[in-house]
A and B are shown apart, each in its own frame.
Chain A
Amino acid sequence: MIDRLKFIPARLVQSLPVALGVTLIVFLMAHLLPGNAALALLGERATDASVAALTEQLGLNRPIWEQYFIFLTRLLQGDLGQSLTYQLPVTDLVFQAIPVTMSVLGYALVLALLISIPLAALAAFRPGGARDLGVRTYTLLGQGMPQFWVGIMLILLLGVNLRIFPVGGYGTTMVDHLYFLFLPSLTLAIAMCPTIIRSLRSSMIDVLGSDYVGTAKSKGAYGVALLRDHVLRNAAIPTVSVIGVNLGYLVGGSLVIEQVFALPGLGSLMINAIFARDFPTIQGVTLFVALFVVVVGILTDVVYTMLDPRVDFASKDQT
């Protein structure tokens, strides 16, 4: 197994061009601002002095290649600049916000799997049947619901009417977090489910029609045992790729959901920065999120390799 994981360093190297491209685009974002970047950043009411100071700080009067180089060097040292609103290093702000966002993402993934696997199985065991139709209707509807609206509806149902869950905030202890994060994570999970269910259902139908499931049945496996021991391990494989591909979109969604539930994560950091025109923070969060997506891509490959012993990225990469 460790053998097969040897492809990771090569894959990391392969991802460098993309990572570099990401930094380039984030860097260029500042220069897309019409007019003098510093002036645009500070707004029309800024004094000449502060514009000059910002120009100096951002190095905006040097040639563009030099600026990019400076940007990259600073980046590699972990310096993303200073937040204009908090006067704190952007890196610190980002790292403070990461645990919240990551918790929501992780929690949402767990919840999504808990919901999707049984539903997909219900649909796959009898395609075209009533349960299948029900599940497919849900996925159709689910894809049409704006994520933040789902969040608000959940607040309405579970937070206001039934008063089971809090309508916002983060809490202090670990148990608190699980409690406070349940609704936002559920919201994100509901957004993930249609895609996961579609893929899982389809691959489960394929697997259920396969010869080796026939073999398993001939050994007496059926129902939940069949699903757990034989179907899931195989059906999960293509779904892992689908989840990996969609994770980027979902990270974006989680940022919006943080606004709905007033969570102090990357989303709120970003949105507040936008309203405060705090460009370094905007840049920092964008950069982090994009690089995160690239890393997730590599992780997806790792999980895929672990699940499917037939796949061998290590030897493929040698070509």
Chain B
Amino acid sequence: MMSPAEVLNARLQQRRALRSRSIKPWYRNGALVAGIVIVGSLVLIAVLAPLLAPYDPIAQELRNTLASPSAEHWLGTDKFGRDILSRLIWGAQVDLRVGFLAVLIPFVFGSVLGAIAGYFGGWLDTILMRIVDVFFAFPFYVMVIVLVFIFGSGEASIYLAIAAVSWVSYAKIVRGEVLVAKKQDYVTAARLGGMSHGRILVKHIGPNVLSQAIIYGMSDIVMDIMAIVTLGYLGLGIAPPTAEWGSMINDGQEFITTQWQQATIPGLMVVVASLGLSFLGDGLSDLMSPERRK
């Protein structure tokens, strides 16, 4: 026996469901648009750095160090006399590039492992879940820092370190999705029709479970940008004098009393990037979830 409120609710839901048969076009999705605009602008800035930056980011002007913002140097100069605005623009290249690229390996590696474990189950699955549990015990930053130390300095080792730690999340997510998907009727039908496991995984289950991994991937990009910026701050990231937001914040912390913008503005860039990526992720999640799922 439903209460009147439930009855009303159910009826309102019915009406809403009928209305949404016409799927909202992508450009009406506020979050998606905002995300595309913000991230798009940042990517443009990064790509067009050579054209946009007024100065060479590593060129030092030792007679003009720690200058306040002026017409010549819109954001002032740092302790080596380098133009902060130019370093900010070139820094976008580094941080965004690392953030985006760093998700690729864990995404692929983790998803594949998770799909195999979830689909075939049994001892394969148990072993994978144990390994996942062990990896989850290590705090993200601790592991990344230690691995960067072990693999040596340089961009490649950063990718490797992040990949070694983040693949587990993808494995867990994709495994969960596959566990649900493989019970669906269309999979049983395909097996009965004689389709091989491999083809089922790739053609049928794959596209459906990947949407969740992609959505997670968006937030993972944010985490990776945070990681590279944090490594930069600690002095463990991309080696100087390359411009990078994290190391800029470190440089700026010394002069927080006089030139506070040096430490503040690069951080704001990170916030903006994260915001844009979050919106993108939300918008994508809206786009992908109910309609695409079978």
Asked if A and B form a direct contact in the complex, defined as CB atoms under 8 angstroms apart, the reply is yes
**Is B267 touching A18 in the complex (CB atoms < 8 A)?**
no
**Is A249 touching B150 in the complex (CB atoms < 8 A)?**
no
Residues in B whose Cβ lies below 8 Å from that of A24: 134
What does the 1/0 interface line of B189-223 toward A look like (CB < 8 Å)? 00000000000000000000000000000000010
Top 3 A-B pairs ranked by shortest CB distance?
A144-B274, A252-B141, A252-B139
Tell yes or no: A146 within 8 A of B by CB: yes
Tell yes or no: A280 within 8 A of B by CB: no
**Is A144 touching B138 in the complex (CB atoms < 8 A)?**
no
Q: Give the contacts of B233-268 with A (CB-CB under 8 A).
A: 233-236, 246, 249, 253, 256-257, 260, 263-264, 267
With CB as the reference atom, state the residue of chain A lying closest to B226: A146
Q: Give the contacts of B105-164 with A (CB-CB under 8 A).
A: 130-131, 133-134, 136-143, 145-146, 149-152
**Is B271 touching A141 in the complex (CB atoms < 8 A)?**
yes
Contacts between chains A and B (CB distance < 8 A), count: 132
Residues in A whose Cβ lies below 8 Å from that of B145: 270-271, 274
User: Shortest Cβ distance from B257 into chain A, in angstroms?
Assistant: 5
Partner of B274, one of A21, A143, A252, A293: A143
Tell yes or no: A166 within 8 A of B by CB: no
Residues on B close to A: CB < 8 A?
Answer: 130-131, 133-134, 136-143, 145-146, 149-152, 222, 226, 229-230, 233-236, 246, 249, 253, 256-257, 260, 263-264, 267, 270-275, 278
User: Shortest Cβ distance from A256 into chain B, in angstroms?
Assistant: 6
Please measure, in the bound complex, the distance between the C-alpha atom of A259 and the C-alpha atom of B231, giving whole angstroms.
12
Decide if the interface of chain A is mainly helix, strand, loop or mixed: helix
**Is B275 touching A21 in the complex (CB atoms < 8 A)?**
no
**Is A156 touching B134 in the complex (CB atoms < 8 A)?**
no
Q: B149, B264, B274 — which one has the most chain A CB atoms within 10 A of its CB?
A: B149
With CB as the reference atom, state the residue of chain A lying closest to B279: A140
> Can you list 20 A-B pairs with a CB-CB distance of less than 8 A?
A18-B133, A24-B134, A25-B134, A140-B275, A144-B222, A144-B273, A148-B230, A149-B270, A248-B136, A248-B138, A252-B140, A255-B142, A270-B142, A277-B149, A282-B146, A286-B143, A290-B137, A290-B142, A291-B137, A297-B137
Tell yes or no: A70 within 8 A of B by CB: no
User: Shortest Cβ distance from A247 into chain B, in angstroms?
Assistant: 9
User: Shortest Cβ distance from B277 into chain A, in angstroms?
Assistant: 8
Partner of A143, one of B150, B222, B253, B272: B222
Residues in B whose Cβ lies below 8 Å from that of A141: 271, 275
**Is A144 touching B142 in the complex (CB atoms < 8 A)?**
no
Partner of A144, one of B130, B152, B264, B270: B270
Binds B, one of A28-36, A125-133, A177-185: A28-36
What does the 1/0 interface line of A54-75 toward B look like (CB < 8 Å)? 0000000000000000000000
**Is A145 touching B271 in the complex (CB atoms < 8 A)?**
yes
Residues in A whose Cβ lies below 8 Å from that of B275: 140-141, 144
Using known A-B contacts A140-B278, A143-B222, A146-B230, determine if residue A252 contacts B142 with beta carbons closer than 8 Å. Answer: yes
User: Shortest Cβ distance from B239 into chain A, in angstroms?
Assistant: 14
Please measure, in the bound complex, the distance between the C-alpha atom of A21 and the C-alpha atom of B128, giving whole angstroms.
12
**Is B264 touching A251 in the complex (CB atoms < 8 A)?**
no
Partner of A21, one of B131, B230, B233, B235: B131
Kindly list 12 other residue pairs between chains A and B, CB separation below 8 angstroms, not including A152-B253, A256-B230: A21-B130, A21-B134, A25-B138, A29-B146, A140-B278, A143-B274, A144-B271, A147-B230, A149-B229, A149-B233, A155-B256, A289-B138
User: Shortest Cβ distance from B89 into chain A, in angstroms?
Assistant: 19
**Is B137 touching A152 in the complex (CB atoms < 8 A)?**
no
Please measure, in the bound complex, the distance between the C-alpha atom of A248 and the C-alpha atom of B138, giving whole angstroms.
7
Partner of A251, one of B133, B139, B274, B278: B139
Q: Give the contacts of A145-171 with B (CB-CB under 8 A).
A: 145-149, 152-153, 155-156, 160
Q: B136, B152, B249 — which one has the most chain A CB atoms within 10 A of its CB?
A: B136
Tell yes or no: A237 within 8 A of B by CB: no
**Is B230 touching A290 in the complex (CB atoms < 8 A)?**
no
Residues in B whose Cβ lies below 8 Å from that of A282: 146, 149
Tell yes or no: A220 within 8 A of B by CB: no
Residues in B whose Cβ lies below 8 Å from that of A205: none
Partner of B278, one of A144, A152, A249, A289: A144
Using known A-B contacts A29-B146, A286-B146, determine if residue A248 contacts B270 with beta carbons closer than 8 Å. Answer: no
Residues in B whose Cβ lies below 8 Å from that of A21: 130-131, 133-134, 137
Please measure, in the bound complex, the distance between the C-alpha atom of A308 and the C-alpha atom of B169, giving whole angstroms.
28
Residues in B whose Cβ lies below 8 Å from that of A271: 145, 234
Residues in A whose Cβ lies below 8 Å from that of B142: 251-252, 255, 270, 285-286, 289-290
Using known A-B contacts A140-B278, A141-B271, A255-B141, determine if residue A156 contacts B260 with beta carbons closer than 8 Å. Answer: yes
What does the 1/0 interface line of A223-262 toward B look like (CB < 8 Å)? 0000000000000000000000000111111011001100
User: Shortest Cβ distance from A58 into chain B, in angstroms?
Assistant: 15
User: Shortest Cβ distance from A160 into chain B, in angstroms?
Assistant: 5
What does the 1/0 interface line of A264-305 toward B look like (CB < 8 Å)? 000000110011010000100110011101100100000000
Please measure, in the bound complex, the distance between the C-alpha atom of A255 and the C-alpha atom of B234, giving whole angstroms.
11
With CB as the reference atom, state the residue of chain B lying closest to A19: B137
Residues in B whose Cβ lies below 8 Å from that of A146: 226, 229-230, 233, 246, 249, 267, 270
User: Shortest Cβ distance from A42 into chain B, in angstroms?
Assistant: 14
Q: A17, A18, A146, A251 — which one has the most chain B CB atoms within 10 A of its CB?
A: A146
What does the 1/0 interface line of A1-32 toward B look like (CB < 8 Å)? 00000000000000001100110110001001
Residues in B whose Cβ lies below 8 Å from that of A17: 130
